[in-house]
């Protein structure tokens, strides 16, 4: 049968209520891409895969949680969904709401959302509201208004978001036939690392697939889980994870600890270098998405993580097309030539 999305594939393992009415864009089923070229660069002698979540329908992993959250909301008769977002959740909520015929309202931090995400939220027809403040300020507003009105909250405080996001852990185990030794991923509001751990634990109990160690990476300018306290003014080029007060922070720390892993901070330079490394393998991911690889590289180079003989998965959460400005702003303009063969030969210097 043709692929029908994660609720069809894993529905019985996702804790969704009976009233759930499936709303899908055929999310999930993303590739686990081997990257032997990066293994070489990191010293060799292990296996490395990228779970390329940027290939979901709206270009990020958020679609896994959103199909679950919107399907539940529709089933209980909700007419509108609302979320705070650094961009990807907004675009995903907007798309699934459009699919379901619901109204979507998204709050984003003013001027801090990448172009591809903002455009997504707009094109799918959401009401986009810029808040003069951070993601954390926007989330506080959204939480309060959903306590007073029937608007359905679709941030990862909504438990069904995590249920849907567990599906990525199931897919990795199904593809590899076991859990990896390490799973490396970015951490922002901390829903995803929490959901992965729930998924791996569930599959392990059910199918004896083993458990990975989790390596979560926060941006150094937005690293409350590393510092041990909220960050009032988070700042990073990886705007997707520019979050100072993660809603699922406690659970994320517990997941990392239970897995015998950790959450660490990586600098913007390390994130951009990892983005370039991935692009060198033909995988263009947005900056936040490269944080997992940046964390792995830092730990391997510091001698804190011995990759030899291990099977490691790096989760790349969003597509590079979401945030083209990071690249185009820092590069030299491509050379312009007259439409003449002589000029072309001069420039490319072949033969």
CA distance linking residue 116 with residue 106, whole number of Å = 15
CA distance linking residue 223 with residue 265, whole number of Å = 6
Q: Of these, 179, 241, 253, 277, which contacts ligand F0G (CB under 6 A)?
A: 241
Judged by CB, which is closer to ligand F0G: 111, or 351? 111
Give residues 8-67 in contact with ligand F0G (rule: CB under 6 A): 60, 62
Pair of tokens at residue 268: 């913007």
Q: Does 264 bind ligand F0G (CB under 6 A)?
A: no
CA distance linking residue 344 with residue 245, whole number of Å = 53
Q: Name the residue with tokens 């699919």.
A: 99
Q: Of these, 42, 172, 187, 226, which contacts ligand F0G (CB under 6 A)?
A: 187
Which one of the spans 74-82, 126-134, 172-180, 181-189 is the region binding ligand F0G (CB under 6 A)? 181-189
Are the C-beta atoms of residues 195 and 177 closer than 8 Å to each other?
A: no
Q: Least CB distance from residue 77 to ligand F0G, whole Å?
A: 25
Judged by CB, which is closer to ligand F0G: 43, or 125? 125
Q: Does 190 bind ligand F0G (CB under 6 A)?
A: yes
- With CA atoms as reference, report the closest residue to 279 among 350, 331, 217, 214: 331
* Helix (H) / strand (E) containing 296: helix 291-301
Interface with ligand F0G (CB under 6 A), residue total 22
Q: Does 318 bind ligand F0G (CB under 6 A)?
A: yes
Q: What does the DSSP assignment read for 91-140?
A: HHHHHHHHHHT-EEEEEEETT-S-HHHHHHHHHTT-EEEEESS-HHHHHH
Q: Of these, 22, 192, 236, 251, which contacts ligand F0G (CB under 6 A)?
A: 192
Are the C-beta atoms of residues 276 and 14 closer than 8 Å to each other?
A: no
Q: Least CB distance from residue 187 to ligand F0G, whole Å?
A: 5
CA distance linking residue 129 with residue 125, whole number of Å = 12
Judged by CB, which is closer to ligand F0G: 232, or 306? 232
Q: Least CB distance from residue 318 to ligand F0G, whole Å?
A: 3
Judged by CB, which is closer to ligand F0G: 250, or 306? 250
Judged by CB, which is closer to ligand F0G: 284, or 343? 284
Judged by CB, which is closer to ligand F0G: 134, or 213? 134
* Helix (H) / strand (E) containing 278: helix 268-279
User: What is the contact surface with ligand F0G in residues (CB under 6 A)?
Assistant: 60, 62, 85-89, 156, 186-192, 240-241, 286, 288-289, 317-318
């Amino acid at each position: 049968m043709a692929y029908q999305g994660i609720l069809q594939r894993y529905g019985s393992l996702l804790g969704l209520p009976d009233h759930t009415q499936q709303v899908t864009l055929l999310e999930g089923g993303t590739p686990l891409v081997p990257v032997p070229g990066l293994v070489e660069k990191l010293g060799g002698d292990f296996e490395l895969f990228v779970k390329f979540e940027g290939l979901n329908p709206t270009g990020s992993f958020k679609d896994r949680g959103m199909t679950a959250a919107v399907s539940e909301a529709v089933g209980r008769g909700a007419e509108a969904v609302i979320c705070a977002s650094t961009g990807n959740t907004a675009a995903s909520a907007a798309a699934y709401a459009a699919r379901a015929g619901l109204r979507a309202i998204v709050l984003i931090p003013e001027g801090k959302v990448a172009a591809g995400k903002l455009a997504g939220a707009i094109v799918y027809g959401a009401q986009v509201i810029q808040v003069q403040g951070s993601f954390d300020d926007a989330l506080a507003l959204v939480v309060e208004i959903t306590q007073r009105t029937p608007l359905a909250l679709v941030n990862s405080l909504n438990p069904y978001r995590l249920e849907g996001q567990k599906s990525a852990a199931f897919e990795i185990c199904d593809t590899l036939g076991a859990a990896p030794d390490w799973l490396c991923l970015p951490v922002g509001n901390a829903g995803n690392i929490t959901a992965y751990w729930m998924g791996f634990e569930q599959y392990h109990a059910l199918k004896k697939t083993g458990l990975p160690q989790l390596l979560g990476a926060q941006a150094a300018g937005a690293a409350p889980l590393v510092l041990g306290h909220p960050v009032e003014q988070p700042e990073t080029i990886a705007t997707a994870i520019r979050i100072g007060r993660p809603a699922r922070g406690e659970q994320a720390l517990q997941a990392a600890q239970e897995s015998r892993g950790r959450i660490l901070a990586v600098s913007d330079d390390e994130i951009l270098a990892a983005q370039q490394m991935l692009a060198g393998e033909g995988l263009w991911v947005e900056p936040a998405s490269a944080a997992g690889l940046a964390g792995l590289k830092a730990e391997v180079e510091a001698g804190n993580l011995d990759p030899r003989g291990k099977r490691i998965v790096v989760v790349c959460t969003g597509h590079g097309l979401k945030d083209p400005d990071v690249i185009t702003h820092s590069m030299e303009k491509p050379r312009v030539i007259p439409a003449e063969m002589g000029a072309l030969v001069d420039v490319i210097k072949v033969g």
